[in-house]
Amino acid sequence: MGYEIILIGEKISLEDLKNYGEENVAIKDNIALVNLRNSTLAHRFIQEMKKLGTYEVLSLEEYEEIMKTTPEDYKPLENVVYKDCISWQFDGKENFVVSNDNTLSVWDVEFDNVQKQVDFPIRGNILLSNSGMFMANYFENRLVLYVEKFDKIFTNFEFKEDIKRVEFNDTDTLLLVYTTEINLLIETYTGKILKEMDKPCIFNITGDNVIYTTTKGIKDGIKDGIISLMGEDIKKVDIIKAKHGQMMI
């Protein structure tokens, strides 16, 4: 009694099957049928093919069962509520934030004990800073930075235009705010707007520095913290370095 194994892959390589005899292999498109004379050989073959990582390996019975399966009728997917879960270290303990149904929750996890620390209404998008010190909450044209357990306001801003996205640098000393009309560089600890740009620009954060350019050129690449720009429309390249500050509450 033979053992028949099915291989499915993007491309079947005869080199992978050369030890099993051409007379025992049938290939069509991206499917191969391999006939093996005993269970020991079949087991070895399956293990070798799985190690390659390029094929789906099935017995003939498994393959036939799949082919007989009738696809379910299409059912529209239900809209799900967006959840944003992020974990970080805070005061030596593991915390995580959940934003769901316009409610922000901060949970503390210590060993097998999970406790909710904060639960309050919130609208819009949230972004945690890299150190876990700040949480940016932005909705329409308003931006609020929270601290502590993210229930205390550190700074808030209101712009003329709606905010598209925000971004912290590696050390949380700088905050980039992209609105529908302008882009802003803000010093996080002071709330001071360092730069306001009403033209298309490219930002690159390198540690405490932000390199930006008002350009229609192409960012060629970043190497060792240096940004390389190409294009005839480059008008200005500048570097801003944020000052390290201490959060005063």
For 126-169, how does the pLDDT look when each residue is reduced to its tens digit (9 = 90+)? 787 777 778 888 888 889 888 766 667 888 888 888 988 888 87
Closest CA relative to residue 245, chosen from 212, 210, 208, 211:
208
pTM: 0.45
| Dist CA 21 CA 43 (whole Å) | 16
Euclidean distance between the first and the last CA atom of the chain, given in angstroms as a whole number: 79
pLDDT digits (tens, 9 = 90+) for 68-124: 766 555 445 444 343 444 444 444 444 555 554 455 666 555 555 555 555 555 667
Q: Where do the domains of the chain lie?
A: 3-67, 123-198
**Helix or strand or coil: residue 19?**
helix
One-letter identity of residue 188: T
Rg (CA), the chain: 28
Q: Which CATH class is domain 123-198?
A: mainly beta
Residue 206 has pLDDT above 50, yes or no: yes
Pick the CATH number of 3-67 from 3.40.30, 1.20.140, 3.40.50, 3.30.70: 3.30.70
**Contact present, 12 and 54 (Cβ < 8 Å):** no
Phi, psi of 50 (to 5 degrees): -65, -35
CA distances from 212 to 82, 155, 244 (A): 32, 24, 20
